[in-house]
Amino acid sequence: MRQNSDLYSIYSGAEDQLGDVVARQFGPSAEGVAFDVYFVAHGRDHNVSEDEVRTAWDHAFGRIGVDYSWRQIS
């Protein structure tokens, strides 16, 4: 799932809404799953920093109580 898609766009300034989307998409079935989040740095992020993106995912996964690893692709 991307942080900029039909489901959710971090660029709209609604970082906290990602948690709602993640909860709807994965819900209780995410329990015990280790997720990988890949951040692709491509220089066209509309003034949204990597830190803001990571914080949004931190909060989203924290809401459903799962762990994830953060990976960056350059």
DSSP state letters, 31-72: TT-EEEEEEE--S-STT--HHHHHHHHHHHHHHHT-EEEEEE
pLDDT in tens, the chain (74 residues): 566 677 777 776 665 678 888 888 888 888 888 899 888 876 666 677 888 888 888 988 888 888 899 998 87
The reported pTM is 0.75
Rg for the chain, CA atoms, rounded: 12
Separation of alpha carbons 21 and 1, rounded Å: 10
Separation of alpha carbons 44 and 17, rounded Å: 22
